[in-house]
């Protein structure tokens, strides 16, 4: 069937919530995707930071196929072996004490918010306690996650949301202190803001928020859904700061394409949730957990984190060259394989040109920022190839330089 026919059928059938690019992907291999016309694309988006191990990873496919033949689902009324294996591995790499598997990132955030609420309830705080979240954050589209997402455009049509959320400025400790009150029970934030434009927390900020939480017996909840799973050059980005959250969320790269997330906690946050407080039908089923267990196994055996540090440094160096070369690039931020280039104008034409003419998949974060979140298994040659195609796309799209 012709590409346009697929696109027409999709537009007819689906709720119109996405503006999709006119490409229909058929299969993937390594760090490349192939469309229904057989064209190859170099992927620096990884399905929005999901495909950490790249496409068509043989070992992972074998584990998933094996589990399909054995058992896919049982419900959480019973135990299953893959979930125990995935859970123990995740606790080991995170240093947390308890884990709960979810079906998505947003649901993992819902879990963190329930931990905060339950913790405040147990402490005997009045029900009007508050949670501090950050402006320009992104935590997902469910109503709870949306309530702590500091973006008016996303929030407005769905107000009123969960009450008691106060917003501070990321990397501005004074702004956190300014909204702190006797009712504050938790602070939630991304360790590296992803959708908001690839802003890593500064060491002073993260340590400062941790100290405030300790002083007031509030919980620090870190969202590692995008920056976690090795992407920052640490298994979880907070591990590069010497600051430990009370609870954290993970999703995206955890299942390498299989929908799975988790929230994890230790200490007082781990004991806040009791039987009956939370549940899910699919969450932690044997199929998705067989995938996550294998992903975690491959991460350890192949030292993916070490590889990210190495290639991440190289990506940093090459993007510094791009930033120095083109006047329309005004900032370069990030860590490991989560980096961003901020341009002087909207990057939509650049993304579209790169995709359709250079066969390079780039994704934006906000209107002026390109975010680089490739599969973690990319090699330096892939970075070189990307920089070549990116340069061609920048030259072809003429983003206005600084005024
Ligand atoms: C993607 C993302 C989410 C939401 O995850 P979904 O699986 O889309 O629900 C939450 N937080 C961060 C930081 C994310 O990048």
What is the rounded distance in angstroms from the CA atom of residue 205 to the CA atom of residue 338? 19
Whether residue 190 has its Cβ less than 6 Å from ligand 1 = yes
Give yes or no for residue 192 CB within 6 A of ligand 1: no
User: For 372-397, how does the pLDDT look when each residue is reduced to its tens digit (9 = 90+)?
Assistant: 999 999 999 999 999 999 999 999 99
pLDDT at 1 over 80: no
Residues 87-105: what's their mean pLDDT?
98
pLDDT bucket at 186, cuts 50 / 70 / 90: very high
Over 90: is that where the pLDDT of 400 sits? no
pLDDT band at 401 (very low <50, low <70, confident <90, very high): confident
Contact 111 CB / ligand 1 (< 6 Å): no
Q: Looking at the predicted structure, is the pLDDT value of residue 346 above 70?
A: yes
Is the predicted pLDDT of residue 403 greater than 80, yes or no? Answer: no
pLDDT of residue 291: 98
Residue 399: predicted pLDDT: 85
pLDDT digits (tens, 9 = 90+) for 313-336: 999 999 999 999 999 999 999 999
Alpha-carbon distance of 133 to 67, in angstroms, equals: 39
The answer, yes or no, to whether any atom of ligand 1 lies below 6 A from the CB of 140, is yes
Single pTM value for the model? 0.97
Indicate if ligand 1 lies below 6 Å from the C-beta of 105. Answer: yes
- Substitution candidate for ligand 1 out of 51, 104, 106, 255 with most atoms within 8 A of CB: 106
| H or E element in which residue 265 lies | strand 261-265
Residue 250 CA to ligand 1 centre (angstroms): 9
Mutate to test the pocket of ligand 1, among 143, 225, 229, 338 (most ligand atoms within 8 A of CB): 225
- Distance from C-alpha of 93 to C-alpha of 136, rounded to nearest angstrom: 29
Whether 150 lines ligand 1, by a CB cut-off of 6 Å, is: no
Ligand 1 centroid vs 124 CA: distance in angstroms? 31
DSSP 44: S
For the chain, give the number of residues. 403
Question: Ligand 1, closest atom to CA 145?
Answer: 10
pLDDT value, residue 222: 98
Minimum CA distance residue for ligand 1 atom 7: 105
Report the chain's mean pLDDT, rounded to a whole number: 97
Whole-number CA gyration radius for the chain = 21
Question: 64: Cβ–Cβ under 8 A, 6 or more apart, which residues?
Answer: 258, 287, 290, 291, 294
Query: Residues with Cβ < 8 Å from 194, sequence gap 6 or more?
Result: 49, 138, 225, 226, 227, 338, 365, 371, 373
Task: Judge if the beta carbon of residue 193 lies within 6 A of ligand 1.
Answer: no
Question: What are the tokens at 90?
Answer: 């995740």
Is ligand 1 within 6 A of the CB of residue 103?
no
Distance CA 337, CA 377 (A): 10
Q: What is the mean pLDDT of residues 172-184?
A: 97
What mean pLDDT do residues 33-57 have?
A: 98
Are 101 and 86 in contact by the 8 Å Cβ rule? The answer is yes
Is pLDDT above 70 for 129?
Answer: yes
Full DSSP string of 324-359: HH-TTEEEEEEETTEEEEEESS--HHHHHHHHHTS-
**Tens digits of residue pLDDT in 198-238:** 999 999 999 999 999 999 999 999 999 999 999 999 999 99
CA of 226 to the centre of ligand 1 (A): 7
Start-to-end CA span in the chain (Å): 48
C-alpha dist (Å) from residue 362 to 24, 90, 131: 16, 30, 34
Residue entry with tokens 């990884």: 46
pLDDT band at 197 (very low <50, low <70, confident <90, very high): very high
Residue of 18, 251, 253, 366 with the most ligand 1 atoms within 8 Å of its CB, for mutation = 251
């Amino acid at each position: 069937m012709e590409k346009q026919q697929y696109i027409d059928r999709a537009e007819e059938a689906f709720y119109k919530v996405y503006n999709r690019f006119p490409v229909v992907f058929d299969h993937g291999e390594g760090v490349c995707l192939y469309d229904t016309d057989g064209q190859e694309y170099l992927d620096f988006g990884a399905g929005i930071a999901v495909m950490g191990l790249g496409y068509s990873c043989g070992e992972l496919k074998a584990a998933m196929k094996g589990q399909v033949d054995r058992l896919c689902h049982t419900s959480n009324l019973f135990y299953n072996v893959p979930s125990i294996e995935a859970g123990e591995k995740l606790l080991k790499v995170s240093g947390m004490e308890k884990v709960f598997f979810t079906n998505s990132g947003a649901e993992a955030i819902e879990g963190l918010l329930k931990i905060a609420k339950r913790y405040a309830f147990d402490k005997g705080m009045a029900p009007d306690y508050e949670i501090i979240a950050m402006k320009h954050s992104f935590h997902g589209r469910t109503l709870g996650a949306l309530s702590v997402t500091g973006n008016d455009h996303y929030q407005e049509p769905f107000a009123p949301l969960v009450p008691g959320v106060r917003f501070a400025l990321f990397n501005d400790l004074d702004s956190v202190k300014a909204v702190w009150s006797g009712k504050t029970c938790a602070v939630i934030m991304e360790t590296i803001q992803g959708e908001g434009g690839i802003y890593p927390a500064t060491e002073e900020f993260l340590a400062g928020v941790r100290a405030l939480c300790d002083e007031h017996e509030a919980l620090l909840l870190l969202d590692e859904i995008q920056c976690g799973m090795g992407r920052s050059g640490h298994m979880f980005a907070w591990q590069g700061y010497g600051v430990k959250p009370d609870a954290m969320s993970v999703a995206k790269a955890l299942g390498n394409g299989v929908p799975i997330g988790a929230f994890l906690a230790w200490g007082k946050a781990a004991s806040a949730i009791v039987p009956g407080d939370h549940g899910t039908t699919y969450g932690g089923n044997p199929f998705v957990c067989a995938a996550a267990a294998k992903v975690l196994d491959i991460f350890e055996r192949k030292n993916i984190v070490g590889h990210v540090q190495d290639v991440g440094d190289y990506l940093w160096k090459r993007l510094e060259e791009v930033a120095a070369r083109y006047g329309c690039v005004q900032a370069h931020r990030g860590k490991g394989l989560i980096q961003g280039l901020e341009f002087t104008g909207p990057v939509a034409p650049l993304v579209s040109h790169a995709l359709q003419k250079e066969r390079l998949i780039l994704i934006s974060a906000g209107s002026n920022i390109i975010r680089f979140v490739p599969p973690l298994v990319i090699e330096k040659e892939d970075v070189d190839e990307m920089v070549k195609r990116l340069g061609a796309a920048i030259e072809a799209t003429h983003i206005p330089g600084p005024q």
